[in-house]
Structure 1
Amino acid sequence: MKTPWIPEDQLYKAMERNEAFWSGNLTGGPLLWLTVQNQHPSGIAPVPPETDEEQWTDVAYQLAKTEHNLATTGFHADALPVHMPWLGPDQFAAWLGGDLSFSTQDNTSWTKPFVEDWADFPDFEINRNGRWWQTYWATMKASVARGKDRWTTAYPDLHTGIDALGAMRGPQRLMMDLINEPDTIKAAMAQMTRLWISVVDEVSALILPTDQGTGNWTGGWSAGRFLCLGQNDLSCLIGPDMFEEFCLPDTLACCRHADSIIYHLDGPDAIRHLPTLLAIDEINCIQWIQGAGSPLPSQWIDLLKRIQDAGKSVQVLYAGAHGGSADFGAEIDSLCSHLDNDRLFILADVDSTAKASFIMDRIRARTT
């Protein structure tokens, strides 16, 4: 990987430590992705188009915004510049026939359910001539071209599987379908797996030849296929037995199509599925998201230890409403004293270089 925004010695060390983390060979303390927004003010941010939809779909604006944001960000410790083109969490459902609506303020998109009867959709196929795939793919290609020797273009945040089915059918109706039409939903999930693999293969063919490595929305970097799984928000509505019946086959197949996997465990309602996930050898790391306004990661030490005791690494997040204003001294002291530091991934986005330096110094003091 190359980038003008990180000194060469720091860059090579960060790449080496990221790879060591995914292979289970990290030493010298936690993997630390530490960023400071607007550390290097430069130029004028691009003027956003008038409508929310244009702000999400105007490829030129998206790339200008990305370049400005990355150029002004301070990358510290093991952090690297990564950009993930996407059209929001329901983009996969849109590729299959939905129509997207956007909210820039809430940083999300959604589709109206469009499946009235699963019998009308015996086979799912991505419409690669459709507007939403064409927009996504144009943004991906533009990011790869503009990011040459500057940033990594990441795999998309793919809410496939049960989440995509929920977007297509509507969450409440899908929950009833799990009970009333289990075989239909299992067949639909198998199709989702097939399509997930096809998208990952297409994206891999685009980004791997750049030698900029890969990433995803969770942070982290690798030269190989590094993907996030667990974009199964609707799994929080079902119990462990249903998760194993409907979601586990998809999760296993997707895990086996990547080199490194981080699983997104999204809040307390997802903890019920942890025993199933910890038994999957291919999952390298569990990302714990406690939820906005919930107790900080240091208050979940027993959970984090449970993950590490099962042989997995664990990631914790401090950004925005998810702990961005935490007492980092207390957090670091607790995490570093109770957990295996070499299997800990801390991702923090902070508001000053002074705070970034404090965090790095505090971790160094706790791990040397």
Structure 2
Amino acid sequence: DVYAALYGAKLHFGEVTSWSEPLVRDWDEVARIRLDMSNEYAHTLDELTRYALERCPGTCLVGYTDLHPGLDCVAAWRDPQQLCFDMIDSPQQVHRLAELSIADFETIYDHYDALLKAHGQPSVSWMGIPSFGRMHIPSCDFSNLISPRFFVEYGLPILQREVSTMTHNIFHVDGKRVARHLDAILSVPGVHAIQWVQGVGDDQPIMQWVPFIRSIQARGVPVIVDLNKAELNDFMQELRPEGLFLWIATENEAEELELLRRIERWT
């Protein structure tokens, strides 16, 4: 919800994430939404980014913060459950908020992109995949709560604008309920690849999702997959390597090299 906080939403912090208090509890409060790149959250993001850039020249990639315009931002401003009701009861207000969420996106992106480029860094975010152009990770986690029809109405127009000025876009598909919208997502020419996150519990292991991953490959779309190292052999037996990018956690460099040797034989 950090993107929403740049407009005044108050954040609460957990160990590895944050969430915001609704900023718009009444429609009259929409007028209070203003981008403020000097507020405490923007200031702290700048400090952290600059500190990392100063400490890491030539040794590490420094990424810009995760940016969620569109329905994720609207859900943070309004509250996810309330937004579901709003889509039925107040559709024009939802469109109004969605427009506000994307209006300054390029300004915000350019601010962080300029910071990185001024220090000789490529464009990179939390996914760790760099570009010498403009890399972006669009997402719409809120879409797990809505129908494909509502995604096309409310989410798709924002996604089309969000990716339009980028060189590379990898859409973050966070689980099977977001995957319901894959046809709409891939209808956008600027979406160049998919990151598939299968979830936890019954959504693991990865092998149950092999047909889904294979269907994306069949469209000629690259797929980033978070893979448990214990599943690597079975995974390689079922899928061809073209267009796959594997995230595999390891314990040490020796293990990394051993996995690379196995993957090299696959490719």
Q: TM-score range by the shorter chain?
A: over 0.9
Q: Which residue number corresponds to residue 12 of structure 1?
A: none
CA separation in 1, counterparts of 2:197 and 2:232? 17
Is residue 2:242 matched to residue 1:342?
A: yes
CA separation in 1, counterparts of 2:249 and 2:34? 38
- Which stretch of structure 1 is more off in the superposition, 175-184 or 150-159? 150-159
CA separation in 1, counterparts of 2:132 and 2:85? 42
CA separation in 1, counterparts of 2:2 and 2:40? 11
CA separation in 1, counterparts of 2:220 and 2:251? 34
Q: How does 1:240-319 map to 2 (within 5 A)?
A: 240-293=148-201, 294-318=203-227
Residue of structure 1 aligned with 2:234, choices 330, 341, 346: 330
Is residue 2:7 matched to residue 1:99?
A: no
CA separation in 1, counterparts of 2:189 and 2:263? 29
CA separation in 1, counterparts of 2:125 and 2:5? 20
**How big is each residue's C-alpha offset from its partner over 1:191-247, in whole Å with a ceiling of 9 and x where there is no partner?**
2112222111111111123222121112311111111011x2110010111101101
Q: Which residue number corresponds to residue 364 of structure 1?
A: 264
Q: Which runs of 5+ in 1 are unaligned?
A: 1-89
Q: Which residue number corresponds to residue 131 of structure 1?
A: 40
Deviation at 1:257, TM superposition (A): 1.6
Q: Which has the higher contact order (CA 8 A, sep 6+)?
A: 1
SS of the residue 2:22 aligns to: coil
Structure 1 segments of 4 or more deviating over 3 A? none
Deviation at 1:352, TM superposition (A): 2.9
CA separation in 1, counterparts of 2:151 and 2:225? 24
Paired residues in the alignment total: 266
Instruction: Give the residue type in structure 1 aligned to 2:257.
Output: S
Deviation at 1:348, TM superposition (A): 1.4
Q: Which residue number corresponds to residue 163 of structure 1?
A: 72
**How big is each residue's C-alpha offset from its partner over 1:314-365, in whole Å with a ceiling of 9 and x where there is no partner?**
11013xxxx3x6333223333xxx23x2311111121133432231111111
Structure 1 contact 278–310 (Cα < 8 Å) conserved = no
Structure 1 contact 329–359 (Cα < 8 Å) conserved = no
CA separation in 2, counterparts of 1:279 and 1:187? 24
**How big is each residue's C-alpha offset from its partner over 1:129-171, in whole Å with a ceiling of 9 and x where there is no partner?**
2111111111122222222222222122112221121122111
**Structure 1 213/238 Cα, relative in aligned 2: closer, same or farther at 3 Å?**
same
Q: How does 1:1-368 map to 2 (within 5 A)?
A: 90-104=1-15, 107-122=16-31, 124-230=33-139, 232-293=140-201, 294-318=203-227, 323=228, 326-334=230-238, 338-339=239-240, 341-367=241-267
CA separation in 1, counterparts of 2:260 and 2:30? 53
CA RMSD of aligned residues (A): 1.7
SS of the residue 1:326 aligns to: helix
**How big is each residue's C-alpha offset from its partner over 1:79-127, in whole Å with a ceiling of 9 and x where there is no partner?**
xxxxxxxxxxx212222112222122xx111122231112322363222
Instruction: Give TM-score, length-normalised by structure 1.
Output: 0.69
Deviation at 1:299, TM superposition (A): 2.5
Q: Which runs of 5+ in 2 are unaligned?
A: none
Structure 2 contact 137–172 (Cα < 8 Å) conserved = yes
Structure 2 contact 8–34 (Cα < 8 Å) conserved = no
